[in-house]
Amino acid sequence: MAYPSRNQPNQTRSRSSVHYLILIAFAAVLVFKVDVLISQSIFAARRRVSTARRFVRPTYHSTSSSITGFTHGTFNRHFILSWGEERAKIQEHGELLTLSLDRKSGSGFESKKEYLFGKIDMQIKLVPGNSAGTVTTYYLSSEGSTHDEIDFEFLGNSTGNPYTLHTNVFSQGKGNREQQFFLWFDPTEDFHTYSFLWNPKCIVLSVDGIPIREFKNMESIGVPYLKDQPMRIYSSLWNADEWATQHGLVKTDWSLAPFTASYRNFSAEACIWSPRTRKSSCDSTDPKANSWLTEELDSKSREKMKKLQQKLMVYNYCEDPWRFPEGPGPECAIKTKNNDKSNTDTDTNTISSSITNSKNNNNNNNNNNIVARKPRRSRRRSRSKGGNKVAQIN
Ligand SMILES: *[C@@H]1O[C@H](CO)[C@@H](O)[C@H](O)[C@H]1NC(C)=O
Ligand SMILES: *[C@@H]1O[C@H](CO)[C@@H](O)[C@H](O)[C@H]1NC(C)=O
């Protein structure tokens, strides 16, 4: 294409400014169009994401190499493999993710986006067999020294002994809010759903849809709440045999490596944070459209949760005077206020459990591994002396 020569000496000033004007107008139209185009495709993409769950996922009958390039499933869309090189893998067209750990390294992944509030479900199947020394983490975290964080951590165990589900909540850099649980099933046999509900009112951690822990917004009594810092989803599988299993007494058996944990069926309703505009995608939408943003436990499910905690909670920072001689955080006072200490073991049906024999140990067993790398003695078992009791859940 031939461009007009720029060196036309007889070109008048006004003519050249007309040219410039046309150019500017053209550029403006172009920029505007591109903007519209981008926002339209973002909108379309969002709509696709939000309607995707309503459709039955297509099944791929072929495993031939012709579709190996097709890797645009859920995990590809929402996560990146962040460390461990080939130990972290996205498989089955992006619908399955596996992390593995060997003597040399563990592995991990994280979400591409940051979120400011969300209702986030993930199905996880943990390292089977002798998983002693391994820790699988699944958590939300912001960045920086005064970060917010909500944790699920699964501490492995020797064959036949139960995993410990360790939970914690950090607000503005301060954690020390550990609660640990045994599960009412073997988390290595199949996938189970681990969920965060995180909204301006409360945080609820659930397992298979059953709430196990609640952290309310208690700013009114001076407890900082997680509401200003966007967080990413992270997960990792790593070796922590210095402290993880029975105080670090049980080491990782490397002859069994690689250890593998699997993830599938990620789904989330969340407010996506834009680092550029510093706005959340929920700011502009009708709050009523996101009912999870105001969701809370009702008194019935809170009662149910407390019953479950009485049976399965093996450590509670709120009840650890050894660690907190001055008393735990003010949020504990609220939590224990309407604690029903009466015996509630007599109702509901029973779910058979792999942990039946796990609680026979006496109270001085000192298996506490609450503070990572710094085992301490505590009274963690004082409340969960339940012997062979098995979880009872409706
Ligand atoms: C492992 O099993 C032992 C024995 O049942 C139990 O005391 C301990 O809490 C379990 N979990 C960990 C992480 O050690
Ligand atoms: C996947 O997750 C959704 C929402 O959490 C759930 O309804 C569905 O049953 C799950 N699918 C499988 C195969 O577990």
Segment 169-184, tens digit of pLDDT: 999 999 999 999 999 9
Q: Are residues 248 and 339 located together in one domain of the fold?
A: no
pLDDT, tens digit (0-9, with 9 covering 90-100), for 84-114:
999 999 999 999 999 999 999 999 999 999 9
In the listed set 252, 272, 294, which residue is the last one of a domain according to the structure? Answer: 294
- Mean pLDDT of all residues in 175-202: 97
Question: Which of ligand 1's atoms lies nearest the C-alpha of 156?
Answer: 13
- Predicted pLDDT at 283: 81
Q: Is 2 part of a structural domain of the chain?
A: no
Is the CB of residue 102 less than 8 Å from the CB of residue 258? yes
Neighbours of 308 (CB within 10 A): 21
Residue type, 231: M
Question: Which of ligand 1's atoms lies nearest the C-alpha of 163?
Answer: 11
The Cα–Cα gap between 4 and 6 comes to 6
* Smallest CA separation from ligand 2 atom 6, residue: 265
The Cα–Cα gap between 260 and 101 comes to 7
Q: Which ligand is nearest to the CA of 160?
A: 1
Residue of 235, 25, 198 lying closest to 111 (CA atoms)? 235
Residue labelled with tokens 């007889």: 10
Question: Which of ligand 1's atoms lies nearest the C-alpha of 157?
Answer: 1
Is the CB of residue 198 less than 8 Å from the CB of residue 229? no
Mean pLDDT of the chain: 76
- Mean pLDDT of all residues in 117-142: 98
* Smallest CA separation from ligand 1 atom 5, residue: 358
pLDDT, tens digit (0-9, with 9 covering 90-100), for 1-52:
334 344 444 444 556 666 766 665 655 544 444 443 333 333 333 333 333 3
Residue of 103, 157, 119, 48 lying closest to 293 (CA atoms)? 119
Among the listed residues 95, 149, 178, 269, the single catalytic one is 149
- Predicted pLDDT at 6: 40
Q: Are residues 195 and 261 located together in one domain of the fold?
A: yes
Q: Are residues 332 and 213 located together in one domain of the fold?
A: no
Give the model's confidence band at 234: pLDDT under 50 very low, under 70 low, under 90 confident, else very high. Answer: very high
Give the model's confidence band at 284: pLDDT under 50 very low, under 70 low, under 90 confident, else very high. Answer: confident
Q: Is 94 part of a structural domain of the chain?
A: yes
Q: Are residues 121 and 202 located together in one domain of the fold?
A: yes
With the most atoms of ligand 1 within 8 angstroms of its CB, the residue from 161, 163, 369 to mutate is: 161
Beta carbon of 242 within 6 Å of any ligand 2 atom? no
pLDDT, tens digit (0-9, with 9 covering 90-100), for 337-367:
444 443 333 333 333 232 333 333 333 333 3
- Predicted pLDDT at 123: 98
* Smallest CA separation from ligand 2 atom 2, residue: 265
- Predicted pLDDT at 289: 74
Beta carbon of 186 within 6 Å of any ligand 2 atom? no
Q: Is 12 part of a structural domain of the chain?
A: no
**Would the pLDDT of 287 be above 90?**
no
Q: Are residues 115 and 246 located together in one domain of the fold?
A: yes
Tokens of residue 202, six digits = 């409360």
- Predicted pLDDT at 5: 40
Beta carbon of 208 within 6 Å of any ligand 2 atom? no
In the listed set 294, 319, 350, which residue is the last one of a domain according to the structure? Answer: 294
Q: Is 27 part of a structural domain of the chain?
A: no
Lowest-pLDDT range of 12-16, 215-219, 297-301, 305-309 = 12-16
3-state secondary structure of 258: coil
* Smallest CA separation from ligand 1 atom 3, residue: 161
Give the total number of structural domains in the chain.
2
Question: Which of ligand 1's atoms lies nearest the C-alpha of 247?
Answer: 14
Q: Is 98 part of a structural domain of the chain?
A: yes
Question: Which of ligand 2's atoms lies nearest the C-alpha of 265?
Answer: 1
Q: Which ligand is nearest to the CA of 249?
A: 1
Among the listed residues 95, 153, 214, 331, the single catalytic one is 153
Greater pLDDT, 62 or 149? 149
Q: Are residues 142 and 237 located together in one domain of the fold?
A: yes
Q: Which ligand is nearest to the CA of 125?
A: 2
Tokens of residue 167, six digits = 């939970």
The Cα–Cα gap between 166 and 182 comes to 9
With the most atoms of ligand 2 within 8 angstroms of its CB, the residue from 78, 265, 266 to mutate is: 265
Q: Is 64 part of a structural domain of the chain?
A: no
**Ligand 1 pocket, CB under 6 A:** 155, 157, 161-162, 164, 244-246, 358, 361, 367
The Cα–Cα gap between 377 and 323 comes to 8
Greater pLDDT, 325 or 383? 325
**Would the pLDDT of 192 be above 90?**
yes
The Cα–Cα gap between 88 and 80 comes to 10
Q: Is 60 part of a structural domain of the chain?
A: no
- Predicted pLDDT at 98: 98
Residue of 301, 369, 361 lying closest to 153 (CA atoms)? 369
Residue of 168, 172, 175, 148 lying closest to 329 (CA atoms)? 175
Beta carbon of 121 within 6 Å of any ligand 2 atom? yes
- Predicted pLDDT at 66: 33
Q: Is 143 a catalytic residue?
A: no
% of the chain residues with pLDDT over 70: 66
Give the model's confidence band at 385: pLDDT under 50 very low, under 70 low, under 90 confident, else very high. Answer: very low
Whole-model pTM: value is 0.71
- Predicted pLDDT at 27: 58
Neighbours of 249 (CB within 10 A): 12
**Would the pLDDT of 266 be above 90?**
yes
Residue of 184, 121, 194 lying closest to 310 (CA atoms)? 184
- Predicted pLDDT at 290: 85
Beta carbon of 267 within 6 Å of any ligand 2 atom? yes
- Predicted pLDDT at 247: 86
The Cα–Cα gap between 238 and 219 comes to 35
Q: Which ligand is nearest to the CA of 357?
A: 1
**Would the pLDDT of 311 be above 50?**
yes
Widest CA span in the chain: 101
The residues near 109 (Cβ < 8 Å, ≥ 6 apart) are 75, 79, 80, 81, 82, 88, 97, 99, 234, 235, 236
Q: Are residues 376 and 230 located together in one domain of the fold?
A: no
340: containing domain: 299-383
**Would the pLDDT of 236 be above 90?**
yes
Q: Is 363 part of a structural domain of the chain?
A: yes
**Ligand 1 center–CA 326 separation, angstroms:** 28
Tokens of residue 324, six digits = 């907190």
Q: Are residues 277 and 223 located together in one domain of the fold?
A: yes
* Smallest CA separation from ligand 1 atom 2, residue: 161
Question: Which of ligand 2's atoms lies nearest the C-alpha of 193?
Answer: 5
